[in-house]
Structure 1
C-alpha cells in the first residue's frame, strides 16, 4: 500500500499516533496497532520492534493494563507531532505570503566536529534552509532558529541575519543552485499520480484507516523536504498546489470511513499520570 519508496515503520507510527492519540490523553493497545499496520503492509514483528525502539528513544511511553500493553506519547513526541500537524493543516505546501525577507545563517565548526556539523545541517534542512555557500545557509522568510541552535549547543558558532536581495540579483537562479527543485517536483508529481485514483474510488471500511495512515505519512514526508520557497520565484507549472489538492480531497473522502474503522478497531485507555 506504500508508494514509490517504502515508508519507515517509525514514520507510520508517528503519523498513526498523531492521528489517533495526540491531544486525547490516551494510550492505544499494541494489538490494535499491529492490526492497523498489517493492513498497511507492515509485519507484526516490524511493528513490535518499532514500538520497542521508540520507547527506548523516548518517543513512546508504555502503560500496562493487566496482561495488555498500551502505548502513548511522551512530551518529546507530542512536540514533534504538533509540528507535523502545523505543516500539514496550517502552513500548507505553497508559499504565497513571502515578503521578500530571507534568513541567513553562517556557521564555523572545528574540523573534528563531524557529528555536530551533520546534526546542524539536518536540522537546517528540516527548517527550510539550503546551502548558499559552504558554511552559509539561507531560508525564505523569518525563521527562528534559536531553539535549534540552543538544542545543539552551538550558539557560539552560529550567526543569524535577516536580509533582502539587492536589485539585479537573480533570485530564481539562486534558488535553482541552492535547492534541488527537479527532485522535489518529481516527488509531488509522483504523489499526485499515486493517489488521484482515490479521488473517485472508495476502499473497504477497515482498509480506509490504513490507507489514510499511508496517505498522511507520504504527504508529510514530501512537505518536510520542501523549504516552501516563494511561489513567485518558482516555475509556473510548480506541482505542489495540485498535489496538495489531491491530498486534501482524498483525505476528506477517506475520513468518514477511517473514523468509523478507528472506533471499531482501536482499543484505547486513559493515560495514568504519576502521582505527585
Structure 2
C-alpha cells in the first residue's frame, strides 16, 4: 500500500504479523492422522498465519461473513484441528480482527476494517511490490529519532515499525530505507511523531552502497528463506509432486509461507545485492506453483464456504 495507510493500520500490521509468528498450535500434522504429504506440508505454519491467508484470499473484498463450520472444514484440510481453529477465531475476535454474528445456531465470522487494512498490506507485498526491487530510482528515506531512555515501549514500537517498513539501522538513531518508504503511520503517531525527522536523499558517489547494505541489513535470513522455498516448491512448480494434492490446502500453505519470506526481506535494490540473490528465482517458482492450484482452490472454497452478507 502507498502513503495512504492509516496510523492504526501501520501499527497493527506489524504487531499482528508478530503475533501470528508466536501463535500457539503449529500445523504439522492432520488432525487425528499422520503427517501431511502435500507440497509445503513439512513447514511449520501457525493457525493464525494460515487464517490471515485464508481471509485475504477468500473473504477480503466480498462483504461477507463465513460460517464457522465451513472454516473448520477448510482448515481440517491443512492439518489444523477444530479446537485450534475455534481458538484462533476467538483470539482474532479479541484482537479486533474479526467480528462475529449469530444466525440461529450458527456462528459467522467477518472482517473488521482493521483486518482488511492488514490483509491489503499482505496483498500488496505479494502481488504488487513483488520480491525484486528492480526499479529503484536512487532515492533513500532517512529517519532520525531521539527518545529518552525512559521511553522503552515507544522505542520498541518504533523499531518494530521501522523494520516492518524495510528500514535498517544506519548509525545510532538514524535509520535508512530504499526509495520513498511509507512513514505515515509513524509521523502521525502522537507519541512518536514529535521525536522523528524524515528526509529523502541520494548517496554521494563516494559512498560504498553495497558495503552499507551488508552492514545495515540482515541479508542471510531472507536469502536462506528464498533458498529453502526453492528447495520445497520447485518440483511442484515444474509439474512434479502433483499426485492427489489438495489444491486448497496447497494454496493456503504456499501463500502463507511466501508472505512470511517476503515480509522478512527489506526489499533492497537488486543492483546492490549479491549476484546470486535468489529472490527472482523463488518468485518465479511461487507464481508458477500458485498458477497450478489457483483455479481449483477457488472452486473448492466456493463449494465449501457457507457465507452470509456482512453487517455491522
Q: 1:262 aligns with which of 301, 304, 308?
A: 301
- Per-residue CA deviation, residues 130-166 of structure 1 (Å, 9 max, x unaligned), is 1111211100001130223324631110111112111
**TM-score normalised by length of structure 1:** 0.94
Q: 2:113 aligns with which of 75, 79, 83?
A: 75
Identify the range of structure 1 (243-252 vs 152-161) with the bigger mean alpha-carbon deviation. 152-161
The 5 Å alignment of 1:226-237 reads 226-237=265-276
Distance, in Å, in 2 between the alignment partners of 1:42 and 1:118 is 33
Identify the range of structure 1 (142-151 vs 245-254) with the bigger mean alpha-carbon deviation. 142-151
Contact persistence 2:187–2:194 (CA under 8 A) = no
Q: Is the counterpart of residue 86 in structure 1 residue 142 in structure 2?
A: no
Residue of structure 2 in register with 1:188 after alignment: 226
Contact persistence 1:3–1:194 (CA under 8 A) = no
Residue of structure 2 in register with 1:202 after alignment: 242
Contact persistence 1:61–1:72 (CA under 8 A) = yes
Distance, in Å, in 2 between the alignment partners of 1:64 and 1:151 is 36
Residue of structure 1 in register with 2:256 after alignment: 217
SS at match of 1:28: strand
* Deviation, structure 1 residue 122: 0.9
* Deviation, structure 1 residue 114: 1.3
5+ residue gaps, structure 2, are 1-35
Distance, in Å, in 2 between the alignment partners of 1:14 and 1:153 is 29
Q: 2:89 aligns with which of 19, 42, 51?
A: 51
SS at match of 1:249: helix
- Per-residue CA deviation, residues 192-212 of structure 1 (Å, 9 max, x unaligned), is 11111222143547x211110
Q: 1:117 aligns with which of 134, 137, 155?
A: 155
* Deviation, structure 1 residue 238: 0.6
**TM-score normalised by length of structure 2:** 0.84
Distance, in Å, in 2 between the alignment partners of 1:138 and 1:101 is 10
Residue of structure 2 in register with 1:127 after alignment: 165
* Deviation, structure 1 residue 3: 6.0
- Per-residue CA deviation, residues 59-80 of structure 1 (Å, 9 max, x unaligned), is 0000111101111100000011
Identify the range of structure 1 (194-203 vs 27-36) with the bigger mean alpha-carbon deviation. 194-203
SS at match of 1:153: coil
Q: Is the counterpart of residue 21 in structure 1 residue 59 in structure 2?
A: yes
* Deviation, structure 1 residue 4: 6.5
Contact persistence 2:154–2:191 (CA under 8 A) = no
Contact persistence 2:146–2:173 (CA under 8 A) = yes
RMSD of the TM alignment (CA)? 1.5
Distance, in Å, in 1 between the alignment partners of 2:163 and 2:273 is 19
- Per-residue CA deviation, residues 30-54 of structure 1 (Å, 9 max, x unaligned), is 1111112122122211111110011
5+ residue gaps, structure 1, are none
Contact persistence 1:116–1:152 (CA under 8 A) = no
* Deviation, structure 1 residue 5: 5.2
Between structures 1 and 2, the one with greater helix share: 1
* Deviation, structure 1 residue 225: 1.2
SS at match of 1:227: coil
